[in-house]
Amino acid sequence: MAASIKDVLPSTCSVVIPSKDSVLKELLPRRWMQQTSSSLPASIITPSTEEEIIEVVKYASANSLRVLPAGGGCSAYVVVNGKTIYLDMQNFKDVTVDTTKHVVTVGGGVRWAEIIGKVVEKGYYTAWTHFSSTGVVGSSFGGGLNSFIGMIGYSCDQIHSARVITAKGDVLTLSHESTGQEKALFNMLRGGGVGLVIVTSLTLRLHKISSLDIEEGGKAVDYTAMFPPPAFEYAAELYAKLTPITDKRFSVGCAIMNAPPGMPISGPVMMISANFIGTLEASKAPLEPLLSEETKSKALFVMPKTTELARMTEQADGRFRNGNADMDAYNAMMTRIPASTVRAVVQRWIQFNEESPALAAKSTLVMAGFSNAGPQAADPERETGFCHRERRFLGQVIWTGMTDDEIRLVGPFSEEILAIFRKEDDAHGVPKTVFPNNMRAGTDMTQMYSTAAKMEAVHEVKQYWDPEGVFWNPAVNGWK
């Protein structure tokens, strides 16, 4: 056994070995979520070359350690502990836009924020997530919800090819042309790809902005309406009128929370936001319920806005800029959210806000509705690792600025809200599912690989490519 990982790597490669006094949050400042399931890693390594990564993988294999590649640091499900070599991919930052093949190739540590401008500048868009600090690889491994979903599907559906390092230290290029076990691995990476290989670069399909009928200057449309408590019943009905989404250019969100600073009122508000990849004029008919005189009379405001595609993901809210936001998130994907569900969720949150105002102030309940036309068309054969293509609702309980004790306290309330979200689907015998990107540590993984066939497939891929568990996939390796 090598004395130390430092012995097998060049002195130029950054290696940090924590001491017993090290503090996890200080060691991993770029992680966004709470880390109550994690403890100090064996080491943190920041490689710059594929050769260095191969040495790390071989060292981990020889020493029964686990390599955990990290990109944007946004996931809540990642568990770090004494067996973990935390592989910070931040030096893998190349971005190349190929206008002949209509693809972009990005390094394994690139975040969406680092490519959007470069892609738009050349006249293209792709399925970047709503929030652009997420890693391109990490968010594509768990789906990738985005504003273009109705038209082109999830981020994972854009994956054209991937350059990967396997648990044996082999370098492979995987693509739609791959065959046999390589094809099985490539398919699983697209939406079910956590803990199978290390991606050093990913190539994604691009789509021409000129094919979109949007506002001049390449701008898309969004509307935000804010409702005070007397109009909550109306807002719940309105959300149900706007969904399920039938126009593939739309996504609609509904949030309940305490009004952020600077708003016309304080205390509980409901917000309905609609995102439309089209012109203001074209948005008027399908969004009529939101733009009606009745809605304007009930809402504090209904605000239309047009935004350049390159700026769509900019976050107005400072909490979401810098990592270490001590966030937590619970989610469920559904086939339906009727008005009765919205009402029940809102009522339960208002009760919670009265009982525990300090905790409620850190919460936002979100219901997202989106078209499933893009996801269904992108993978009609259901080959990719992503399982929930027919679902078109996401329900979430999001917490920010939480202490470890608070995280434990809000667990039962969060689970209760998920149960309300799922009640209608339960009544129709629809299996429970989770959106993989936003799942927490400890999630029942049959909710991610939600068909028996997909669960079997991920076990087979893992057994073939990584039988010793050099990488970590919670469905196969568990949550420790």
Binding site for ligand FAD (CB under 6 A): 32, 68-75, 78, 89, 108, 129-131, 134-135, 137-139, 141-145, 194, 198-199, 320, 327, 437-438
Please give the Cα distance from 126 to 155 (Å, whole number): 8
Q: Cis peptide before 261, with omega less than 30 degrees from 0?
A: no
Q: How far is the CB of 284 from ligand FAD (least distance, A)?
A: 26
Minimum CB–partner distance for residue 468 and ligand FAD (Å)? 17
Smallest gap from residue 339 Cβ to ligand FAD (A): 25
Residue nearer to ligand FAD on the CB measure, 92 or 232: 92
Least CB distance from residue 4 to ligand FAD, whole Å?
23
CA 416, CA 348: separation in Å to the nearest integer?
A: 9
Q: How far is the CB of 175 from ligand FAD (least distance, A)?
A: 16
Closest to ligand FAD by CB, 64 or 315: 315
- Tell me which residue of 187, 66, 172, 196 sits closest to 475, measured CA to CA: 196
Q: How far apart are CA 197 and CA 385, in angstroms?
A: 14
Q: How far is the CB of 115 from ligand FAD (least distance, A)?
A: 13
Strands 268-276 and 250-258: antiparallel
DSSP helix/strand/coil, 411: helix
Closest distance of CB 288 from ligand FAD, Å: 27
Q: Whose Cβ is closer to ligand FAD: residue 38's or residue 279's?
A: 38
Q: Report the alpha-carbon distance of residue 280 to residue 282 in Å, rounded.
A: 6
Tokens 């648990």: give the residue. 167
CB of 436 to ligand FAD, least distance (A): 8
154: CB partners within 8 A, 6+ apart: 127, 140, 143, 144, 145, 146, 191, 374, 375, 378, 386
**Residues near 72 by Cβ (< 8 Å), separated by ≥ 6?**
30, 111, 112, 133, 134, 135, 136, 138, 139
Nearer to ligand FAD, 24 or 282 (CB): 24
Give the count of alpha carbons within 13 A of 154, CB side only: 30
Residue that has been written with the tokens 């971005």 in this structure: 95
What lies within 8 Å, CB to CB, of 45 at 6+ separation is: 5, 9, 13, 14, 15, 16, 52, 56, 85, 86, 87, 88
CB of 335: closest distance to ligand FAD in angstroms?
Answer: 19
451: nearest Cα among 372, 380, 383, 364? 383
Cβ proximity to ligand FAD: between 227 and 435 the closer is: 435
Query: Among all chains, which residue has been given the structure tokens 């027919």?
Result: 390
Q: How far is the CB of 292 from ligand FAD (least distance, A)?
A: 29
Bridge-based pairing state of the strands 95-98 and 43-46: unpaired
